[in-house]
């Protein structure tokens, strides 16, 4: 006898992580190439002596630190096992199989997967010709079934970012019972002053009585903790409480909590590294444009090459040059900004491509 599982999951694509190939330069997963700071490594080592005990499932100390940093009450913060898990929790806490999630496409590839896992319907809204989110089209796509809409800012994988007034106009068009989730996984790499701090924007909306705005952030990117999995949501008290209800107990482990707190202690040092990445991002983009590539302005720690049908050939070419990029067949390639020598190796490969 075969165990019966959900039939709809048989057609669900799995999440595809960036490839790791021994001896190759990995620029496929938007990781920070520099390792964790020594002070963070020490905090992890200290925390490891107590791993025979369960972690604080409420992440009390981390939540308190985030509340102080962001200027919001602790009750408005919910932690999760990376922001991707919080995406799933948000869908679980707002949707049933009768409901719908709206998101841009192409955007974070987990959005449609997580929506299907929960059982809700997904509505993909194409990007603009400039590879940015089309907020007017996303607003037009909302229906009576819509319960949640993701706004990835900066967008993954294109790196494009929305400005404050664009997001505010969009929120004004969204019904108050539909949750707008601003996904800011790459917020620390933004250098355009017109791109909003999502938490500050959300505070303005909450003050207007619009409690339907939530913000996601992660320690995986700028803070260099991709291997430990810790993210957080900032939302109205009611939304944050529902997130805690669907949270898998103890899923943010003790090492992750200690590392996140230590990273906040060293935040100034970490943000200096982010500024260096931003400078490299500008150099890489300029050289790619000079080589004849179209490269949208990025506000993240990666650049996007909209190669269309040439994507697979470009990917194979880069692999042959021992550089791993993240290829989205038929659309383009996303390339993480790494260390200077890693970026130089990628640029050499890109300039040699003639496909």
pLDDT-derived band of residue 12, with 50, 70 and 90 as boundaries? low
- Give per-residue pLDDT as tens, 66-117: 999 999 999 999 999 999 999 999 999 999 999 999 999 999 999 999 999 9
Q: For the residues 29-49, what does the mean pLDDT come to?
A: 94
Ramachandran bin of 46, using left for φ above 0, alpha for ψ from -120 to 50, beta for the remaining angles: alpha
Instruction: Report yes or no: 103 and 112 within 8 Å, Cβ to Cβ.
Output: yes
Percentage of the chain with pLDDT > 70? Answer: 96
pLDDT at 20 over 80: no
**Residue 229, Cβ neighbours under 10 Å: how many?**
20
Q: For the residues 149-170, what does the mean pLDDT come to?
A: 98
Helix (H, G, I), strand (E, B) or coil at 9: helix
Predicted pLDDT at 8 = 75
Exposure string of 134-163, with b = 16+ CB inside 10 Å and e = fewer, is bbeebbebbeeebbbbbbbbbbbbbbbbbe
pLDDT-derived band of residue 4, with 50, 70 and 90 as boundaries? confident
Q: For the residues 295-321, what does the mean pLDDT come to?
A: 98
Domains present along the chain, CATH in parentheses = 17-36+268-351 (3.90.1150.10), 38-265 (3.40.640.10)
What's the pTM value of the predicted model, to 2 decimals? Answer: 0.94
Residue 100 structure tokens: 């719908």
The position carrying tokens 């490299």 is 280
Predicted pLDDT at 13 = 67
pLDDT at 1 over 60: no
Predicted pLDDT at 23 = 83
Number of H helices, E strands in the chain: 12, 12
pLDDT-derived band of residue 315, with 50, 70 and 90 as boundaries? very high
Q: For the residues 213-230, what does the mean pLDDT come to?
A: 97
Predicted pLDDT at 18 = 61
* pLDDT top residue among 4 and 233: 233
pLDDT at 15 over 70: no
Predicted pLDDT at 22 = 74
Predicted pLDDT at 21 = 72
Predicted pLDDT at 6 = 74
pLDDT at 16 over 70: no
pLDDT at 165 over 70: yes
pLDDT-derived band of residue 14, with 50, 70 and 90 as boundaries? low
pLDDT-derived band of residue 355, with 50, 70 and 90 as boundaries? confident
User: What's the residue count for the chain?
Assistant: 355
Q: For the residues 125-151, what does the mean pLDDT come to?
A: 98
Helix (H, G, I), strand (E, B) or coil at 295: coil
Q: For the residues 283-306, what does the mean pLDDT come to?
A: 98
Mean pLDDT, the chain, integer: 95
pLDDT at 205 over 90: yes
**Residue 344, Cβ neighbours under 10 Å: how many?**
15
The β-bridge partners of 183 are 152, 216
Residue 350 structure tokens: 């890109």
Predicted pLDDT at 183 = 98
Predicted pLDDT at 196 = 98
- Give per-residue pLDDT as tens, 229-243: 999 999 999 999 999
225 phi and psi, to 5 degrees? -115, 35
Alpha carbons 165 and 142: distance in angstroms, whole number: 20
């Amino acid at each position: 006898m075969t165990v019966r599982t959900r039939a709809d999951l048989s057609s669900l694509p799995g999440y595809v992580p960036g490839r790791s190939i021994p001896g190759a330069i990995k620029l496929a997963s938007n990781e920070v190439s520099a390792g964790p700071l020594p002070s963070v490594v020490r905090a992890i080592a200290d925390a490891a002596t107590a791993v025979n005990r369960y972690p604080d499932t409420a992440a009390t100390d981390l939540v308190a630190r985030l509340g102080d940093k962001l200027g919001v009450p602790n009750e408005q913060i919910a932690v999760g096992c990376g922001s991707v898990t919080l995406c799933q929790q948000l869908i679980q806490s707002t949707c049933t199989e009768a409901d719908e999630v709206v998101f841009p496409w192409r955007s974070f590839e987990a959005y449609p997967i997580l929506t299907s896992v929960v059982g809700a319907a997904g509505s993909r809204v194409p990007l603009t010709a400039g590879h940015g989110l089309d907020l007017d089209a996303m607003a037009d796509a909302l229906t009576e079934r819509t319960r949640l809409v993701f706004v990835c800012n900066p967008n993954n994988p294109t790196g494009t970012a929305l400005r404050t007034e664009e997001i505010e106009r969009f929120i004004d068009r969204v019904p108050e019972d539909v949750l707008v989730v601003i996904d800011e996984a790459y917020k620390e790499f933004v250098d355009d002053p017109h791109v909003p701090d999502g938490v500050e924007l959300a505070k303005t909306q909450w003050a207007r009585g619009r409690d339907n705005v939530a913000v996601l952030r992660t320690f995986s990117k700028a803070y260099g903790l991709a291997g430990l999995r810790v993210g957080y949501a900032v939302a109205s008290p009611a939304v944050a409480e529902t997130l805690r209800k669907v949270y898998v107990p103890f899923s943010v482990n003790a090492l992750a909590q200690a590392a996140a707190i230590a990273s906040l202690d060293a935040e100034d040092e970490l943000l200096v590294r982010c500024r260096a990445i931003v400078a490299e991002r500008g150099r890489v983009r300029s050289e790619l444009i000079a080589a004849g590539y179209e490269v949208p302005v990025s506000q993240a720690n990666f650049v996007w090459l909209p190669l269309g049908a040439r994507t697979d050939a470009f990917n194979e070419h880069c692999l042959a040059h021992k550089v791993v990029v993240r290829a989205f067949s038929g659309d383009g390639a996303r390339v993480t900004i790494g260390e200077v020598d890693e970026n130089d190796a990628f640029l050499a490969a890109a300039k040699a491509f003639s496909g």
